[in-house]
Structure 1
């Protein structure tokens, strides 16, 4: 059984502020350790369920947060950027299941460190459903033939995943008290919850992923300048000064969206 972990940082146990998750933050090194411990708990859970291979993709910011010397020795690590598939780099239909570790809720919610990929984005919709990193990652994994079976993060992220797909098991490691504050679960309790939930969801029959053959992505940007540039790309149309849309196979749309993020970053 091959298991894939996409690991973000904002939803990691104990982390609540930019100082915890940005390389320039005073508590970033502590955040890296906390991130590795959540990942290791998930890896242990996967191995206990019979996983023969576990691949971990560092999916946060610079994508160089996880240190190989901190990780469980059974885990393979995908690290660094740029990566064509970003948060889902390396995922394909040879994997039996995907886990989303340390994820956060979408822009505009009251979840801890909530946003959607970048502060340049105001809103995202997939086939008219509000989406963020949770929904887009789930939909793309399904299109690649891999079910997402577990998510860990704050309670707001867990609720967002439950709304998107109630079959996904969720593990709240903290409870939002605002965008930069949370009530934290005790560390040992949170890691045990991740480990046991991973083992449970990988034991027995895994769900069959379901995805449409095509999807329509709509993104509203904070700045009209980004939309102005993106409308020059093939297949991209504008809905208003700040909103662009594209349709196509889900995984192709996801790759196109990764290009959009690079354009926004350059601007």
Structure 2
């Protein structure tokens, strides 16, 4: 079969021993009923929480212990182009076949869920998750259709200040919720100068709870810099985790829009 980078993955049987190195994909595997097949995860695979106690932790998303993964004798290793490094993928392929996801849009997310359904022979559960996400999306689109776009800046890091710009999954979800990305003309996750690059007339400033753990103190500090803007601490998982968590994002976006 092919992965999302159109790489051919040679699998001669349904994989029964899975190592997942992407937290959102680990949660998806659980929701597909594949917990019993998970043998290795990262320290960031926190949903559901009990997995961290029951399954071997092999490292993070950028650095892993290859000897631990090899000892687990996996049938397949699940990675992501953005979250895992090219150097990691090269080493992991010496251990087992590697399936790479590459997510920029909601359609990419749905495609991955369908791929996993086929790969792990859980097509019915995969279709159920896809249907749930589509239904939530349609309901939200009906809610949002008459509402205006809102000029928004979405921060992911501090020291240096970094934002989500174009060409990533976060921006796709911002567009879905009609939060017009102030930095949408830039690419990926640029560093910015808070004093020079952000217009005082921006309407909403979002501080994500991940990867930088923004707190309420940061919200209060930015409120002083941007007195005209609404400054919110937002759930980063609901803006950046693809997979089954996406079904929860639309209700959250509705809550945020209602705060306007």
TM-score (ref. length: structure 2):
0.27
Higher helix share: 2
Larger radius of gyration: 2
User: Which has the higher relative contact order, 1 or 2, with Cα contacts under 8 A spaced 6 or more apart?
Assistant: 1
TM-score (ref. length: structure 1):
0.27
Higher strand share: 1
